[in-house]
Chain A
Amino acid sequence: MAFYVVQFLTGLASAASLFLVASGLSIIFGVTRIVNFAHGAFYMIGAYIAFTLTERFSGAFGFWGGVLAAALAVALIGVLVEMVLLRRIYHAPELFQLLGTFGLTLMVEDLVVLIWGPDDLVGRRAPGFKGAVDFFGQNIPSYDLFLIVLGPVVLGVLWLLFQRTRWGVLVRAATQDRDMVAALGVNQKWLFTSVFAVGVFLAALGGALQIPRDAVHHAMDLRIIVEVFVVVVIGGLGSIVGAFVAAVLVSELNAFGILIFPKISIILVFLVMAAVLIVRPWGLFGKPEAAARKTPGLTVNPWRPLTQNERLGSLAALLVAAMLPLFAGNYALTVGSEIAIFVIFAVSLHFLMSVGGLASFGHAAYFGLGAYGVAFLAKMAGLPMIVCLLLGPLLGCMGAAVFGFFAVQLSGVYFAMLTLAFAQIVWSIAFQWVSVTGGDNGILGVWPASWAASVSHFYWLALGIAALVTIALRIAVFSPFGYALRATRDSVLRSEAVGINAKRIQWTAFVISGTTAGIGGALFAYLKGSVFPDNLGISLSVDALVMVLLGGVETVSGGVIGAIVYKALNIWLVSQTDLSKLVLGGFIVLIVVVFPKGIVGMLELLAQRRRRSSPPGSSLLAKPIESAE
């Protein structure tokens, strides 16, 4: 019995820091609607700075002072980030802020190694909390007890802050209805900044408090960010109490899950998140999100099919691309194939995101399923390449059909998180089911048949399929189905009132998108000759999001350009420098600030300005930035 009590307490201790970080993320999201991908980075910087301070100043004062000072210092960094970067992009398309904070995260990962060196750092134990307390023969670290107390204390302080101060009232009001608070004449600028600072402070504090338990290292951010998202979503976005309960729930599940299924902790939280979202789509303590009031005039340019000239231009570009084998070497062609494959992947997500308004955070699942589909067919059934290419994507199609059915019942961030959960579940299966998938050692030897084996042939194959897929999806955008899908994106209420079954339309779009991603994955398996769980992993899903956002989510063909630019740059940077993350992250942040509508979005805006070239047109460019101030 004592054992179970201690196991429970241990779970509570783990919950404390998870709660700190999650509550920060939740507050930030609630008020600013920013999905702050950099939250894990702030957590990590908090730990690094606290490490330096606590090493430098000894004693109890040095330790606790160092932890607090570190959190404050990071909060200041947060203020800087908010003022310099985020303020410029509040009015950018939804999720564009995700791109900015993702860029920041990349930069931070390289920066901490530059500043603190590559070694794992192990900091001091907390003075006064070094030992353990005996509990009926079981030991509980006294620091755990400290954390167990700290969690509810922070919850209480936050509660008081939100209930008893004017600032807290404003934050709660803004969480419920941003427009209303703005209309009441509250200085939103500083409200946002202060909220961001508080959120970042909590993240950094969570990181700093890890010092006596964890090693400080440059991948800490990724280890916590996903779990924090899970906690926030299970608890209900914007709900502090929810974050607390969910943090406890997740930690206790881990603590007790390993007793029954030692291997399950890898997947457990995602199963729980999926279950919660399906049963209670707004999380345990969340409230159904009021239908977002779309800013009128969000899209300046109505979509239209390409004109004759533009068609010819695209065809010419395709022809130029097709002539690459005449002058480029094998490496460039292989990179070209890879880019073509990522164009397929990006346009598949773009279709779902831009046309359907459904941002999937787990799109790699369908890409990876396509790849595994090919690998199974080629290695186990020994089918020829052409058959594998045709049938492999069906695995992605089936995955999309099953998961999509549940996912489209939700919308917005909840949709995103459910897709993420599904992707993680698929990833865990690929990772864990070693006898079938080979686990993380993957399936090797999936090489193309002789007709496609030469690098140029494979390049033409990939390019041709990418072109076909892009054209097909473009046709779909301007098909009656595409109109219906855009209708469900703009207004579910109106769609249903004109006889459209919105969920079914969105589900269909999900399946189309998943199948297309599967086609990309199938080609990818042949390009690399192997498949790995990576092909379904979070970082690939994030890549897809970045490509779409970079290209421009409000455009028809942003995915194509986003994929080409991002992938080419990524491959080139990785090959040229060890600081590729720093440079790529910096580039993304720059793009976010300079092109808040994505690359293609900005080009369209410029073209439009030139077309109009009348006085009112010239203010168009400045407008989104101004209104964000």
Chain B
Amino acid sequence: MRARNYFVGAAFALLAVGIGHSAVAEDIKIGEINSYSLLPSFTEPYRKGWQLAVEEINAAGGINGKKLVVISKDDGGKPADAQTAANELVSSEGVAMLTGTFLSNIGLAVSDFANQKKVFFLAAEPLTDAITWSKGNKYTFRLRPSNYMQAAMLVEAASKLPAKRWATIAPNYEYGQSAVAVFKKLMSEKRPDIQWVDEQWPPQGKIDAGPVVQAVAQANPEAILNVTFGPDLVKLVREGNTRGLFRGREVVSFLTGEPEYLDPLKDETPEGWIVTGYPWYSIKTPEHDAFLKAYQGKYNDYPRLGSIVGYQTIKAAAAIIAKAGSTDTDKMIAAAEGISMPSPFGEITFRKIDHQSTLGAFVGKTAQKDGKGVMVDASYKKGADYLPSDAEVEKLRPKD
């Protein structure tokens, strides 16, 4: 039993290893957290994206002459672990700001941590509207177009469809629920004649696709809104194709045009879905060409949307620190509010009013080309055009 005590000692010695790190004053450190082990299909390209950005920034002389170092941590998909990581990055590594996160709940957890500890947080991916609006705070900024913005982009196209009977399929958690809610709200505003005839809420990651497809078909909608993604989407598409669910029906779908989710579908990609996504093969702008060339040059692989998000997150962080001329949190916040910068999708701005960036998304239609899924007729939608009025945002967001 006495050996027990040695073990307590040993365990604390183990902890002490974590204390050993000390910040090197000359470098600028950014802490980065994401669900690397849980969502590798998104986070691997994402990691490549930000690594490319770091390389480019340092090759160009760093930030205000200082070298940029990104310290990256895995949250395993758990909010509690994300906070542990955030804490390590801030307390132990002494990073200037936190970036990253994919899942909405993790984004919110880190955002709340940032608010409590007064740390700058640049959320990369989480889509929840709450992070900039109902639970927004002074310290948190967000890069990607939110649920609301993507819904608004899709509604613009969807409202032009003749379909009046709509059904929805969405994963049963906050992201799916709020995506459906916003879409319904915006859609019903534009088209009061629409009927919602069925809704399916399969558990995230556990869709029982056959029965879901059957149930939706039974309601006989003219159009379907899909919010599922990843393996759930694959199952849904396969069952839907085989059972003829999509035949003669319009489908509007969140995120499906992103290579992460579209590519696995290969020759089973359904035709003509209206989707948001990232058609990297058909974007012909100088900014994107430069990014694409650099990315393919470095990795010998094509970029996914995650690559853009990772790349631009670190680019944005660097731009903010460069403008602030300091890693002081308040100065960075002041610098970030209203900052404009280039991105592979063109110039973006972080709005002062809600800390949302105006990064947009591509809306287009799915198609098959050489047995692969692609997005066609894609056009870029600027984020700024799909946000509610300032007065509305004021109402949504608590005062700092």
**A–B proximity contact (CB within 8 A):** yes
Q: Give chain B interface residues in 28-62, CB to chain A under 8 Å.
A: 36-38, 40-41, 43-44
Q: Shortest Cβ distance from A70 into chain B, in angstroms?
A: 19
Q: How far is the CB of A527 from chain B (nearest CB, A)?
A: 8
A219-B205, A439-B173 known; A120-B41 Cβ under 8 A: yes
Question: Which residues of chain B are near A534, meaning CB under 8 Å?
Answer: 78-80
Instruction: Tell me if A214 counts as interface (CB < 8 A to partner B).
Output: yes
Residues of A near B202 (CB, < 8 A) are 258, 265
Query: Smallest distance from the beta carbon of B178 to chain A beta carbons, Å?
Result: 9
With A320-B8, A434-B174, A445-B112 as known contacts, state yes or no: A266 contacts B203, CB within 8 Å: yes
How far does the Cβ of B337 sit from chain A's closest Cβ, in whole Å?
23
B27 within 8 A of A: no
Q: Give complex CA distance A306, B4 in Å.
A: 12
Known A122-B268, A575-B85, A603-B3; contact A444-B135, beta-carbon cutoff 8 A: yes
12 contacts between A and B (CB under 8 A): A213-B209, A255-B211, A256-B211, A317-B5, A328-B19, A332-B92, A441-B108, A441-B135, A442-B79, A574-B74, A606-B3, A607-B3
B338 interfacial contact with A, CB 8 Å: no
Q: Quick check: B263 and A119 within 8 Å, CB to CB?
A: yes
A392, chain B: closest CB distance, angstroms: 17
Which residue of B has the minimal Cβ distance to A599? B7
Q: Are B79 and A574 in contact (CB under 8 A)?
A: no
Could you tell me the distance in whole angstroms from the C-beta of A373 to the nearest C-beta in chain B?
17
Partner of A604, one of B1, B201, B242: B1
Does B112 lie within 8 Å of A578, measured CB to CB? Answer: no
Min Cβ gap A244→B in Å is 18
- Which residues of chain A from 252 to 272 have a CB within 8 Å of any chain B CB? 254-256, 258-259, 262-263, 265-266
Q: Is the CB of A335 within 8 A of B15?
A: yes
Q: Does A188 reach chain B (CB closer than 8 Å)?
A: no
Q: Is the CB of B203 within 8 A of A265?
A: yes
CB-based contact A215/B234 at 8 Å: yes
B47 to chain A, nearest CB (A): 9
Report the bound CA distance from A599 to B266 in whole Å.
Answer: 50
Q: How big is the B interface, by class?
A: 35 or more
A508 within 8 A of B: no
Say if the beta carbon of B297 comes within 8 Å of chain A.
no
Whose C-beta in chain A lies nearest to the C-beta of B131? A441
Count the A residues whose beta carbon is within 8 Å of the partner chain — how many? Answer: 104
Residue B84 interfacial (CB < 8 Å): yes
Are A441 and B105 in contact (CB-based, < 8 A)?
Answer: yes
Q: Is the CB of A580 within 8 A of B5?
A: no
With A227-B206, A255-B211, A265-B172 given, name 16 new contacts (CB 8 A).
A122-B266, A139-B242, A139-B244, A307-B1, A317-B5, A331-B19, A331-B91, A331-B92, A332-B92, A335-B18, A339-B11, A431-B173, A441-B135, A524-B80, A532-B79, A534-B78
Bound: A447/B104 CA distance, A: 20
The answer to whether A10 touches B210, judged by C-beta atoms less than 8 angstroms apart, is yes
In angstroms, Cα B215 to Cα A530, docked, is 37
Q: Which of B80, B212, B218 has the most CB of A within 10 A?
A: B80
Judged by a CB distance under 8 angstroms, whether B315 is at the interface is no
Whole-angstrom CA separation of A539 from B77 in the bound complex: 11
Query: Within 8 Å of chain A (Cβ to Cβ): is B265?
Result: yes
A82 contacts across to B, CB distance below 8 A: none
A461 interface hit (Cβ, 8 Å): no
- The segment from A29-37, A156-164, A308-316, A509-517 found at the interface with B is A308-316
Return B318 CB to nearest CB of chain A, in Å.
24
Q: Mark B60-85, 1 if CB is under 8 A from A, else 0.
A: 00000000000001101011110111
User: Are B8 and A132 within 8 A (Cβ)?
Assistant: no
Residue of A nearest to B80 (CB): A528
Q: In the assembly, what is the distance between CA of A3 and CA of B85, in Å?
A: 50
Rounded to whole angstroms, the CA-CA distance of A263 and B4 in the bound complex is 48
Residues of B within 8 A of A119 (CB): 41, 260, 263-264
